[in-house]
Structure 1
Amino acid sequence: MIEIHNIHKSFDGKKVLDGVSGVFETGKTNLLLGASGTGKSVLLKCIVGLIKPDLGSVTFDGTYFTNNKLDIRQEIRRKIGMLFQGSALFDSMTVEENVEFPLRMLTEMNREERLDRVNFCLKRVGLENANKKMPSEISGGMMKRVGIARAIAPHCTYLFCDEPNSGLDPLTAIKIDALIAEITEEYDITTIIVTHDMNSVIEIGDKIMFLYQGQKLWEGSNDEIMDTDVKELNEFIFANRLMRDAKKVEDEGGHSDL
């Protein structure tokens, strides 16, 4: 479980985060939802320690992270897996080498142990025969899977995903969402996903925090989000005709053919 308490952050006098607090639960997909520029990625970076908040604190399973001793922060960081928006694979490394990289940096495993773990993780994401391929030889969806394998390779306790569906076609995006949700539940990970994709919300939104202009305006599950009375959230959800039509059908008690 990750808890954030009264997080504030400004850049050049412009407030980006304004007193955000919340709890991200273990074994569930926790989504940070909102339009571009609402502070989602900045909040994610504050949580993992890439940006220091001006005010507020972060705790990981009860351990204070913000401003704690360096060795404690480093110990927590070793338990963090990151799936970056563009996958961020090393172009000069094979798939196998990319997944092995955090094991070489963060663990005491020998070569044989590392390769066993790499093969296990690649098999878990459905890429057991891709070890020797280069990033330039695989599709965008496969690159995301490699990114997930690399993130979970060091036995991460916390998984952070920044726009994991960015640049993917709808079917591949759904598969990546499902894979993240499966891994979260299977390994009892605390997963936080930055997204503006309503498909992800509907498919895997166990717990959703909606940010608007740097503030948390709503929190709930994907079962509750369609019935909120928060004006800004409704404007975000029903911005496209498909979602408006779905809502109309639901309100009328009918059945949609969509």
Structure 2
Amino acid sequence: MIEVKNVSKKFGDKDVLKNISGVFKRGMTNMIIGASGTGKSVLLKNIVGLVIPDEGKVLYDERDFIKASKEEKKDIRQEIGMLFQGSALFDSKTVEENVRFPLDMLTQMPLDAKMDRVHFCLKRVGLENAAKKTPSEISGGMKKRVGIARAIALETTRYLFCDEPNSGLDPLTSIRIDNLIQEITQEYDITTIIVSHDMNSVMEIGEYIMFLHQGEKKWEGSNETLFDSDVPELNEFLFSNKLMRRFKNEPSSA
């Protein structure tokens, strides 16, 4: 579980995050949604420690990440897996070398144990036959799956962060990535936080959703209650994504 308590952040005179609080539960697909420039990615960066909040707390299973010592932060970071928007694979490395990278950087495992773990992770995401390929030889969806395999390569992974995981993917591949993220979240009982503007993903796997508007949390709930909201900013956001009619089975003028 990850909890943020009254997190605020300014850049210059601009309030980017205003007193954000919420609980992201373990074993669930937690999502942060909102329009572009509303603070989603900044909140994620505050949670993972890339940005330090001006006020508030970030708790990893009750461990205060902001006030943690250097060694305590290192321990927490070894429990974090990241899936980046652009996959962030090393072009010069093979698929298996990309997945092995966190094991090389953060563990003292013998090589044969590392390779066993790499091949296990690649098999879990359905890429056991792509181990020797380079990123330039695989599709965008396969790159995202390599990113997921790398994110879970460390057996200590307890937290998974995904930044726009379906960016640039076709709808069918997006569904496959969504399902894979949800399966891994439940299978390994990890805390997953996904930043997304893909409302199809929200409706498919959004077990807990935090909606941000102009740096404020305006609503939280599940995809089952999303359309019951009386929050004007959220309803406007849903209309802008042309989802209100679709999911309420009303005719579209499009």
Task: Please state which band the TM-score falls in when normalised by the shorter chain.
Answer: over 0.9
Distance 1:17 1:240, change over 3 A: closer
Partner of 2:40: 40
Distance 1:124 1:85, change over 3 A: same
**Structure-2 separation of matches of 1:235 and 1:75:** 42
Distance 1:51 1:172, change over 3 A: same
Partner of 1:110: 110
Percent of pairs identical after alignment? 66
CA contact (8 A) 2:227 2:244 kept: no
Partner of 1:82: 82
Give 5+ residue unaligned stretches, structure 2.
none
**Structure-1 separation of matches of 2:143 and 2:77:** 23
Give 5+ residue unaligned stretches, structure 1.
none
CA contact (8 A) 2:8 2:54 kept: yes
State whether structure 2 residue 161 is matched by structure 1 residue 160.
Answer: yes
Write out per-residue CA displacement over residues 63-111 of structure 1, whole angstroms, 9 at most, x where no aligned residue: 1111221110110000000000000000110000000000011112110
Moved over 6 A (4+): none
For residue 122 of structure 2, what is the amino acid of its counterpart? L
Deviation at 1:247, TM superposition (A): 4.8
Deviation at 1:248, TM superposition (A): 4.8
State whether structure 2 residue 13 is matched by structure 1 residue 13.
Answer: yes
- Farther-moved stretch of structure 1 (167-176 vs 64-73): 64-73
Deviation at 1:244, TM superposition (A): 3.5
What SS does the aligned partner of 2:130 have? Answer: coil
Deviation at 1:33, TM superposition (A): 0.6
For residue 146 of structure 2, what is the amino acid of its counterpart? V
CA contact (8 A) 2:85 2:165 kept: yes
Partner of 1:67: 67
What SS does the aligned partner of 1:226 have? Answer: helix
Partner of 1:174: 175
Partner of 2:212: 211
For residue 200 of structure 1, what is the amino acid of its counterpart? S
Partner of 1:220: 221
Q: Which structure 2 residues correspond to residues 181-200 of structure 1 after superposition, within 5 A?
A: 181-200=182-201
Write out per-residue CA displacement over residues 119-149 of structure 1, whole angstroms, 9 at most, x where no aligned residue: 0000000001111100000000000000000
What SS does the aligned partner of 1:209 have? Answer: strand
Distance 1:248 1:222, change over 3 A: closer
For residue 239 of structure 2, what is the amino acid of its counterpart? F
- Farther-moved stretch of structure 1 (103-112 vs 23-32): 103-112
- Farther-moved stretch of structure 1 (230-239 vs 176-185): 230-239
What SS does the aligned partner of 2:246 have? Answer: helix
Deviation at 1:239, TM superposition (A): 1.4
Distance 1:104 1:193, change over 3 A: same
Distance 1:132 1:247, change over 3 A: closer
Partner of 1:238: 239
Number of equivalences: 251
What SS does the aligned partner of 1:99 have? Answer: helix
**Structure-2 separation of matches of 1:52 and 1:30:** 21
